[in-house]
Structure formats: C-alpha cells, structure tokens
Amino acid sequence: MRLTRMLLSVTALVSACGGDDDEPGGTDVVASGFAPEGGNDDASTGGTTPNGTDSDPSDGGSNASETDGPPPPPETLLGILTFSLYPADPLNDEDILGFAGAWRAPTDDWSGWGNIDDFFAISLAATYPATPVEPDTLVQSAGFNDFDWGVPGDWLLAGTSMKLETAETEAHACVLFRGGAPTVVFPPGPSGVNTPNYPIYMSTPSANQPEGCAPNPSTWQSDTAYDLVLYGGDLFPNNILAGSVHTPVAFEVGAPDLDAYQEPLSSAEDLAITWSPVGSEGERVVIRVIDQFDRLFTIHAADDGEYTVPAAELQVLSQGFVTFMIARERIEDVAFTKGSVKVVTRIERWGYFDLI
C-alpha cells in the first residue's frame, strides 16, 4: 500500500526523502548546505550565501568534467515547483506544507513536465495518474504510475534554492541529491563527466537541512500573490519574478465528513461531495479516492461546489480502508530568462473511510 506507507502520516509526508529501494538513484538524500541565516558554509558541502549563490561552484554537485571542464549549459530550461498545503486531518494533528521542485532540459524524449502536476508527491515516490482534462470527468486507474527518473545527467543543478515570498513571509525549497553522494561520474569511467546526482529542490525538516529550509505551513496563504525567486547558480542569473504565482482560494468540505475517521462509506449508494466557497477563475478541483491496494479514481470536478460519484464507480474499488482527497489547485507556466517553470499551488484536504 504505497499511499499508506508514504503519505498517511506526518513523518512520511514531510520527512521522507527517497522512494522505493528499486528506484534509480536509491533512497538516500544529502543536504546542500544552504545557509539562509548566515555566511558561507564549508565549500565541501556546496556551501552558499543567504542570497542563494554558490560559494564554490567546483564543489557540491556542480557540473565538472575530469578532463575537459564543464559542459555548456542548455539553452532552454524547464522547471517545476509544487507548493501544497495539507490541513490537519484525523491522522495528522498539524497542517503540513509540501514544497518541492526540479530542473530539466528538453530532450528528444522529454519535451516538458506534461501531466506531472505534483512533484512533491513524486519526490516521495507517489506518482498519481494524470488528471482528466475535461471538467466533471472521472477516470479509474489500476494503481500509481511509475516515474522514470532517467539518468542523473537529465536533471540540472541550478542555484541552491527556489523561493516563494510575499512581504510577510517566504518559503525555500533547497537543493538535495537523490542517491547519496552529491555527484556521480556519468558515463562511468575516468573520462566521464562529474554530474549532479539527481538534484531536486525540497523543503524538509531533516536534521541535515538548516532551519530556513524546514517546511512552515504558515507560509502558504490562501488567494495570495507570491514573488517567485529562482537562484540560477552557474546556469542563469538569479530571477525575481514579482507577483507571478497566485495560490488558490481555501475551502471547506461539507460532505462527506472528513473528521469522521473510518466511518462507513456505502458503495451501494452514490457519494455526494460538497465544498465551499467556489474558487476563482483559473483554478480547478481534483478529487481522488484510493483503496488499500492503491487502486483509485481521479475526478476533475467543475468548481461549482458539488460533485456526485456514482455507486458503480465506488464498487470498482476494494472494500475496506479508503483515502479520500479533495484539492483545489492552480497551474501556472511562469516564464523566466532561461525558459519556463510550471508552478502548481494547491490546498488539499484528506479523509479516511471504511468502504462497505
């Protein structure tokens, strides 16, 4: 039960740093040495200054060849950033912030982030099926999708963090490395290129991360414009994109009762889902119900405050423990000096029922 293992507790949701053992790159993550409070860290850890510039580009995972120097940076970069709030629920006493991102370059078989709308979930090895394009559409899925991480060289190391900020608050997603060591030699051999080992950007409470990189749910504010700050390292100049990201309107779920932990949910009857208030233009509602064997359905609901799931769709799931998830999200493609960043902001509420 991948969802239960990775996402149904505070520890799994905000502290886990890797996926399953059989995933490329392993499960270990090494902190970057981001230093939001003071001066440079030891350059051996890729230490940084508070403004996100690298103190020593030759260390900490920068592109460096053992023979010919670093390869030229790509002409176009594709970023992704997920900024999600998970309000407290019957299994988690406190609100949770999910903040994660990454950089890649277009290749012959990779033209963008496509249907990937939740990089925070991917960083925890939970890759959801794509959301239907048309509103009021329900799609059944046999389980979670596998995410192809590819080779380390497909992922790009920019600066030390990606940041969202307002006049009152700021949140950092700081660089981490899937796979243990900050760099690997790729292709193998003495003449290979020393390549960052799956660099991703994430806010975590790990002891290896400085306090400024820990997730703080209060930094997620409803219906708010944020400046997007992109630290470019060796790849591009730092960008400050004022007011370029806007969070969706917060909401409450009227039915079913998400506070009623493991209350019976009948598969013999249609399930009425209600929420309020209605959101703003450019936002959408995504609903998922997932059974104990990771079978699920995904709904793109029109944001009019109600949706009814036919009993026949509930009966496709296995009886027993099910997880109910309803999210309002906004997806924005933000242009910057070197390409674009797909930014997904979301508020997602969870409940847990006994499907009978």
- Span 244-275, pLDDT tens digits: 999 999 999 999 999 999 999 999 999 999 99
Query: Is pLDDT of 164 > 80?
Result: yes
Query: Is pLDDT of 6 > 60?
Result: no
Query: Across residues 98-107, what is the average pLDDT?
Result: 89
Query: Is pLDDT of 55 > 70?
Result: no
Amino acid (one-letter) located at 316: V
Residues 6+ apart with CB under 8 A from 166: 221, 224, 225, 226, 227
pLDDT in tens, 120-147: 998 888 889 999 999 999 999 998 888 8
Q: Which pTM value belongs to this model?
A: 0.80
Q: Exposure pattern of 9-31 as b/e (b: 16+ CB <10 Å)?
A: ebebbbebbbbeeebebbbebbb
Query: Is pLDDT of 109 > 50?
Result: yes
Query: Across residues 40-68, what is the average pLDDT?
Result: 32
C-alpha dihedral sign at 259, 262, 264, 270? positive
